[in-house]
Structure 1
Amino acid sequence: MKAARATAAALLAFCASSAGADGSRCHGTVNRGSIEGSVQLPSEGANFTAYSKLAIGMGRNHVHSEVSAIILDAYRKLERAAPGVQYVYGESGNEFGGRFRPHRTHQNGLSVDFLVPVRDQGGRPARLPTPATQRFGYDIEFDRGARHGDYSIDFGAMAEHLLQLDQAARARGRGLALVIFDTAYLPRLFATPRGAELKRLKFMTGKPWVRHDEHYHVDFAVPCSR
């Protein structure tokens, strides 16, 4: 097991360094843009998986090389900061950016969706199922108590993830431009042990065009040409 984890960590480090060397170039904005030299996120790692192998095969997990490096560094740090948690990332963008249906953004490699981390009925970390019948997780609806069937949102694990993303971005001279998550759940997110630190991030306070309860959307702050 230790050898396997070491191999996975080495692979992620290689992917991150390779992505940085590629030097993606983004253009425009998240809702009207494009990207050159994008990279694909790994389909899985020691503590994370992609939301759908089919979608990955279709190339729907392309991002800017800087975004890839930030995400992978955060996942590595989470192995210690949130042991046992199983993270799942969702949609990001096309290889060359541009219109990415059904999303209104995700056009220049700087937008990534993350499925909420969950716990099962026994309180154990679990992976949120993302079957094709539920649009790979995007049609899942959590109730007012942040529950869906046998699963409940792990707000503590989500808070830790966002903080690690922020720290990894800052370490590279970048940042998080915007986080979109169901505003009804924000009080519970801010009530976690790391919640006070989260308040320095920019969360959308208005109502997005679709409910963001089963996932949280992150726009990364990376300079782009117009």
Structure 2
Amino acid sequence: MRLTLLFTTLSFLGCSQNEITKLKTLKKPNTKLSTYIQQNQNNSLVSQSLGSVSNGSLKNGKLVPFHGENYSYFDKTSYLSGRAFLNSKVLSTILDGYKKLATTQPNRNFKIMECAHKHGGKLWPHRTHQNGLSVDFMVPKTKNKKPYYGLDTLGVNHYWLTFNNQGQYNKDTSITIDFESIAKHLLILKKQAKKHKLKIQKVIIKVELKDELFEGEYGKKLKESGIYIVKSLSPTINALHDDHYHVDFKEM
């Protein structure tokens, strides 16, 4: 009896110790990430976007928060490599947009993709993203008509995902792009941009996806909104814009 009790006690203590170790591991902060964020704390200085999105630079660039209530940056390596900076007005526009989405699309999470270097300039392999006025957004997805996040953790490899012209993931057609969510987001960005004396200069998305994008209720509103969505792209650039949509802002 005593022997059984001893084994039971030891087993319990062993399990408890394992659980404590797991909790400590979970609570252990990502010191590299937190140090980087601390070293790049945003100040109150207004950003200056010089030149153009394809040949420019950025002064007083602001670091995008790694995560918020309903959004997060898509890749830690990209983030720590200094590729998540924006013009202060663009950052405010995007964050205000996510606040609005928290009420219009509650319990939905979104991903910000690559932005710009702290001082702008070339951001390989992008042709733009040079002056803090460009940002990529990961396409939101559904599976069986429910929000789906199974592909959102691929990091930079998400850029290499392929979707057919109906917005279905090529390796699993039950996973589709949520076009209505994109349309809602772009309409919100337009309103928020105006508050910060910006406008959406253009949106880049695979041109064959535009019919699907404009099909729904909010898609129809988007089509009539005056937001310019590219009509043609080179084959290479077109093929690379099915997993995300690119937005260029312009200061008014």
The TM-score range, normalised by the shorter chain, is 0.7 to 0.9
Greater displacement, 141-150 / 103-112: 141-150
The CA deviation at 1:19 is: 6.1
Name the structure 1 match of 2:73. Answer: 50
Aligned residue among 98, 109, 132 for 2:132: 109
Q: Tell me the residue number matched to 1:191.
A: 215
Matched letter for residue 107 of structure 2: G
Q: Which moved more, 1:142-151 or 1:184-193?
A: 142-151
> Does the CA contact (< 8 Å) of 1:52 and 1:136 recur in 2?
no
**Contact kept in structure 2, 1:24 and 1:66, CA below 8 Å:** yes
Tell me the SS of whatever aligns to 1:220: strand
Q: Which amino acid aligns with 1:191?
A: E
TM-score (norm 1): 0.85
Structure 1 residue aligned with 2:152? 129
Identity of aligned residues (%): 33
Match of 1:206 in 2: 232
- Whether the 8 Å CA contact 2:59–2:119 is kept in 1: the answer is yes
- Number of residue pairs matched by the alignment: 203
Counterparts of residues 14-163 of structure 1 (less than 5 Å):
21-120=44-143, 122-127=144-149, 128-132=151-155, 135-148=156-169, 149=172, 150-163=174-187
1:21 Cα shift?
Answer: 3.0
* Distance in 1 between residues matched to 2:185 and 2:217, nearest whole Å: 13
Q: Deviation at 1:136?
A: 3.0
Corresponding residue number in structure 2 for 1:8: none
Q: Is the Cα–Cα contact under 8 Å of residues 179 and 219 in structure 2 kept in the other structure? A: no
Q: Deviations over 1:25-67 (max 9, x none)?
A: 1110000000110011111111111110111111111000000
Contact persistence 2:90–2:249 (CA under 8 A): yes
Whether contact under 8 Å (1:25, 1:35) holds in the other structure is yes
| Aligned residues: CA RMSD | 1.7
Alpha-carbon separation, structure 2, partners of 1:151 and 1:38: 36
Question: How many Å separate the matches in 2 of 1:78 and 1:185?
Answer: 23
Is the contact between residue 91 and residue 113 of structure 1 (CA under 8 Å) also seen in structure 2? yes
Q: SS in structure 2 opposite 1:175?
A: strand
Aligned-partner residue type, residue 246 of structure 2 = H
Structure 2 gap ranges (5+): 1-40
CA distance in 1, matches of 2:168, 2:191: 29
Q: Quick check: which one's helix share is greater?
A: 2
Say whether the 8 Å CA contact 2:166–2:212 is kept in structure 1: no
The C-alpha deviation readout for 1:108-129, integer Å capped at 9, x for no partner, is: 0000000100112x32212232
CA contact (8 A) 1:130 1:136 kept: no
Secondary structure at the counterpart of residue 141 of structure 1: coil
Give 1:86 shift: 1.8
TM-score (norm 2): 0.76
Residue matched to 2:32: none
CA drift of 1:146 comes to 1.2
Is the contact between residue 203 and residue 248 of structure 2 (CA under 8 Å) also seen in structure 1? yes
More relative contact order, 1 or 2 (CA 8 Å, 6+ apart): 1
**Structure 1 unmatched ranges of 5 or more:** 1-17
